[in-house]
Structure 1
């Protein structure tokens, strides 16, 4: 008989991962109000923006403004693809940084024009310096289950990347089903394996996309494997511009409802969360179709 946790932590990725692929440019003041409303719903950890090239991700051109104007409540994480991004992030006042790499070489090349090994070689001194400076470092590991170009990824390859990041002292590993192909059995197996093999000092977070409507089932399977941290996106916003077929992240409000129904506390108020979604709904290209948001609007 498995034992479910009494509490779970939601890491909200809507302001960053949820909006990065939006064709409509969301005004900075709207993003800041969205972030503030998400915080008011009880969310304490959040990816708020990314310091990437505006040429490739125009939506994130306002990163400095977002960091400087967002209320400083809880952990606010910014994504940084390279040393230049890290420098800009720290200069803007950020103190929690996310780096990323794809387990799959093909995905990594499509994303940042480097092999996985090249990316890791470049990231090592950056991460080590960040940790010397006392910065919280989150490592986002894409295509941990499947790659849109290479197919199924073996769990040993995912573990190897996780172990290398852990050896550098990262605080958190966000392990992603980037294209939403994983099933609950695969989710349980991979996260059980990672829990068994990795140091307990590193935070282990599951990141599921809902491409094939298996994200909630995958989260339940991950709970059984001992995971109690989940990346989610308010309204189910998101998708990856470098991963064909990757639709939105799993909706925060649906995950919170499921967890609360199982007596797993998140500290999040669903009504206030849906009020936050109201703020952003008119600025995105697709209607919000999550189950709990539809109920809220009735």
Structure 2
């Protein structure tokens, strides 16, 4: 009986295998009704040449809209950098008010004392720079002096070495403007790229505004970053001699194009800072003593426990 069951199972298995093989062969025989080589009738792609009727692409499209742009005409360059200013140091009368209303808005500002307003504060030394375009700026300086008031820009690594200086000197009848190179405490007059110079003296305060093209950088990637100084000194109108400058404000490297810059005066920031007293804390000896007491207590408890047993 067992042999019969084995033989029957084998026969059933072989039958299913034969049926599976036949089904697979029937499904894979697609060369008849699905012969792709016979699809040259309605699916014949060479008949695309007959589509010269409504889809005739040789006929030009009817474009009745605006005429095409003439690309031969140059487009205006909206991002062109303004050229450097033509030097003109003629001084005109200043009639506008110098104040700090545009500081941190459209104008970079530095002052000594910090945040003083030249329109309302006595003894206020002020410098403002507002970008006109590219490397062209409008400078504003104000401060008390019986000789000259100057601002200088340091493009190198050392302040006071080949700095470009802009000087407003107090004459008997009018303010005179000079460009100069400041090197180790001495001015050498030179032509600088400034124009639209305006100045006045009011109650002992020299005030000047002028447009300037910033000098070329020597060591920095940003062409608007400089070390800044405001200084005063004596001026001999007869000889034209400019005395040794005395700095009232000197900063580190600042970006004149960043109107939100906070300028720290390095001259008045050299006071010695005394460290505040500290609160006594637990020493290492105290920690060691606490550990010893804890260990002694544990040993004592262990001994007592053994004695009770």
TM-score by length of 2: 0.23
If asked which structure has higher relative contact order (CA below 8 Å, sep 6+), I would say: 1
Counting strand residues as a fraction of each chain, which structure ranks higher? Answer: 2
TM-score by length of 1: 0.24
Larger radius of gyration: 2
